[in-house]
A and B are shown apart, each in its own frame.
Chain A
Amino acid sequence: MQLPDFENRLALSDDILMSVEKPARYIGGEINAVIKDKRRVAVRFAMCFPDVYEIGMSHLGIQILYDMFNRYEDVWCERVYSPWVDLDQIMRERKIPLFALESQEPVRNFDFLGITLQYEMCYTNILQVLDLSGIPLLAADRGEDVPIVIGGGPCAYDPEPIAPFFDLFYIGEGETAYRQLLDLYKENRAAGGGRQTFLLRAAREVPGIYVPSLYAVAYHADGTIASFVPTQEGVPAVIRKEVVMDLDHVPYPAKPLVPYIKVTQDRVVLEIQRGCIRGCRFCQAGQIYRPVREKSLESLKEYAIAMLEQTGQEEISLNSLSSSDYSRLEELVDFLMETCREKKVNISLPSLRIDAFSLDVMGKVQDVKKSSLTFAPEAGSQRLRNVINKGLTEEDILHGAALAFEGGWSRVKLYFMLGLPTETEEDIRGIAALCNKIAALYYETVPKEKRNGPVQIVASTSFFIPKPFTPFQWAGMCTKEQFLEKAALTKQSVREQLNQKRIKYNWHEADVSVLEGVLARGDRRVADVILAAYQKGCLYDAWGEHFQYELWLEAFAQCGLDPAFYTTRERRKDEILPWDFLDCGVKKEFLWREWERAQREETTPNCRMECQGCGAARFGGGVCFERKGGPV
């Protein structure tokens, strides 16, 4: 009898795979996964997203770098994700080393372990990945026999709380300097150089590279930073981010990976531009990805078709911070609608401003009765929206909602933040009042016989967390108690509305926001707390059911650090911030000017209306040079 192949060549036995939830997380072999002959590559790179597979597989940045690295003949890039808690336990008990999905070989044998830093609440998962891999948690304890651990992504714009766990960080967009870094690695190895020589040379020679061990931090008695300086000659005092100026001529994955199991983003993702012209003052992405750079319509069309054909995905989505600002959006959407109708592919259009155009498009691509409209006013009053520079007025919202109600929509989602600088009770009450107005508008706009059931308003609030490289980087953050009071007030004022039955209100957990506040603006000393929290058993902090705030508080106490120092304290103008040694293009003076304008409730026009001379023009392209004459 001829039986099929069932030999197990995986890192985990059938026994283990059959006993964990979703074994497909660990077997690799997905469509478009890259397999190379390990004897014929010079560098093995393990690319890690420190969260569960379904989240990590949904991340565009990893797909871009995976594709880019694997285009290099001498490099084999593989993927690693955090084992879920069930497997985590088994691996610890049976001492099974963490492995990369493609080769199923231990990460410890790789040349590099790259970890993407997308949100602060994954920091304990970084330690899990290192620990399970058998890599010493502290860079200082690592010898020649373990991979170089490199971090990158938005949280690298304040790498300090995790600095001791990394050998180096890559600041900015990955497409520009990795080749140089890998060449240096090969050259150094061929010359018999070790880890420390490589790190020193990388810091000196490769742009965008930050090697934390080559900098010394001193503190004032009050805990603020007194100095932050390189300890070796030739190591830059300021590291400027890397940025791609021509997005049409850098690799983009035309053959993205297709997972076997359902993941969070189970679709083809077309990146249409980087950066955002708007300058909302709470938003980090709006600053660190400046200037706005668009991809050409022609290359987007080509990629859309190639990606759909190579993956067989049944949905395509646009990726950008604000798709409505893409200058050729109408043409792109028309093209996609045509293509997708032919190919029977669904289109999802997140981050579109609600207006006549977007409603027309959405009416064509989705079932109006089942879908909902999304607005993100972020604040309940015009005054506070001016403070945060959110250029969305009540009139815009009501106008958009009226159009939508006439078009058959009856569900509206609204996103707000609580705890924004200068916020008053009135601003908070404004949230409920706005929801009520929208509900009332439905009954005014849509005659009874045309109504598709009652109107449904869902208002969600998150707690405001000041982030580095934003005008609010100096702001004090609320305490947990203040946050909860604000949420209670919001809830109460929703209840006082005439249409309260039609409004559903959700709010975020407060503890996790406080912790995120510490990690977002922390300095190097916070690393001790993260390490202590991990050793106490903290893991998967981004997952509500696994978050253990008590253990974190114990860790702070044990390390003698007060979370309030990092959260509630407003910073002075002359304070050295932990991330000041990084240069994201946008200048500190510009951010301070914006912070002052915020306090005066003054708005600032966007890049296309009037350049503000933020500093990002020095990269020499993008929106800054769209008009004749260039930036101011």
Chain B
Amino acid sequence: MKIRIKFSKYGPLRFIGHLDIMRFFQKVIRRAGIDVTYSAGFSPHQVMTFAAPLGVGLCSLGEYMDIEVNSQQGAEDMKRRLQNACPYGIDILSVKALQKTAGNAMASVAAASYAAVFRDRSRSFDDYIGQCAAFLAREEILIRKETKRGTAEVNIRPGIYSLGIEDGALVFTVDASSAGNIRPSVVTEQFLRFAGASEQENAFQIVRLEIYTRSGEEAGLIPLDEVGEAF
């Protein structure tokens, strides 16, 4: 049975990188006593996929991984066991069952939304509220991107699906597919530069809010766990 797990990552755990989080969850699943499916061979490993790597230093309210289990005692039980095996900084938000035919977490990723806030909580993005529409009105937002053959100019504007200010935070939804992934720090920097602000590199904290896949006739964006079902 395929299971999709949604979790958050915050506090000091924001300094743990993606590969380490994968190794971390393998141990969580063992400690939790989940009857997870292993690959065959001399060093069996858990069948596990993560949606989209989260950069070191970022927090998230919407991380996803898929696992496969041989047996289970219901979503609530699994969620509780996993939560008990996690330290402060990881919360298990939902546990859903996936159809056999559902694409895995990594392949399904289409977009992600983020919030950027000032680390200094007395400051807010409200000052720049007026700039959002103009920022989005541009046809081209060119950035330099490192490629195998040196650097290239890339237009990230088509990959920015929405951007605005909410509760003092800069909130945006961007392409997160493997082909067109846009880094949230790039969007934040571009926006601030456009707004004429000069900020220190680590002045703001970025939080990933959600990861989306495309679904339905309209191919609209829906959160990854809406693909799964309760059990």
Contact = CB atoms under 8 A, between A and B. Distances in A.
A311 B57 contact: no
A31 B207 contact: no
B10 A4 contact: yes
B44 interface: yes
Contact of B88 (A18, A29, A261): A29
Contact of B16 (A1, A14, A15, A260): A260
B127 interface: no
Contacts, number: 98
A14 B30 CA distance: 31
Contacts of B30: 308, 312-314, 343
B20 A1 contact: no
A262 B20 CA distance: 7
Given A4-B8, A6-B10, A29-B88, A260 B20 contact: yes
Contacts of B60: 4
A6 B27 contact: no
Nearest to B15: A23
Interface SS of chain B: mixed
Contacts of A23: 15, 56
Contact of A5 (B10, B43, B85): B10
A137 interface: no
A344 B39 CA distance: 10
Interface string A259-278: 01110000000000000000
B227 interface: no
Nearest to B121: A7
Contact of B59 (A4, A343, A365): A4
A6 B207 contact: yes
Contacts of A308: 30
B90 to A, nearest CB: 10
B201 to A, nearest CB: 8
A3 B115 contact: yes
Interface in A273-319: 308-314
B209 to A, nearest CB: 8
Interface string A326-347: 0000000000000000011010
A17 B23 CA distance: 21
A167 B31 CA distance: 42
A239 to B, nearest CB: 42
Given A10-B12, A23-B15, A260-B16, A29 B89 contact: yes
A27 interface: yes
Contacts of B85: 312
Interface in A347-378: 365-367, 370
A440 interface: no
B20 A311 contact: no
B29 to A, nearest CB: 7
A311 B26 CA distance: 11
Interface string A114-129: 0000000000000000
Interface in B55-72: 56-57, 59-61
A404 interface: no
A49 to B, nearest CB: 20
A365 B43 CA distance: 9
B202 interface: yes
Nearest to B167: A1
Nearest to B41: A367
Contacts of A31: 27, 31, 87
A31 B13 CA distance: 12
A17 B169 contact: no
Contacts of A557: none
A25 to B, nearest CB: 10
B44 A309 contact: no
Contacts of A226: none
Contacts of A1: 115, 166-167, 169, 171
A27 B31 contact: no
A4 B15 contact: no
A365 to B, nearest CB: 8
Contact of B56 (A6, A18, A344, A367): A18
Most chain B beta carbons < 10 A, residue from A6, A15, A29, A313 = A6
Nearest to A23: B15
B23 A6 contact: no
Nearest to B10: A4
Contact of B20 (A5, A24, A344): A24
13 contacts: A3-B59, A6-B119, A10-B12, A14-B205, A17-B57, A18-B202, A23-B15, A309-B31, A310-B31, A314-B27, A344-B38, A346-B43, A367-B42
Given A23-B15, A367-B43, 13 more contacts: A1-B167, A3-B169, A4-B60, A6-B59, A18-B56, A24-B17, A29-B12, A29-B89, A262-B20, A311-B27, A312-B27, A312-B30, A313-B27
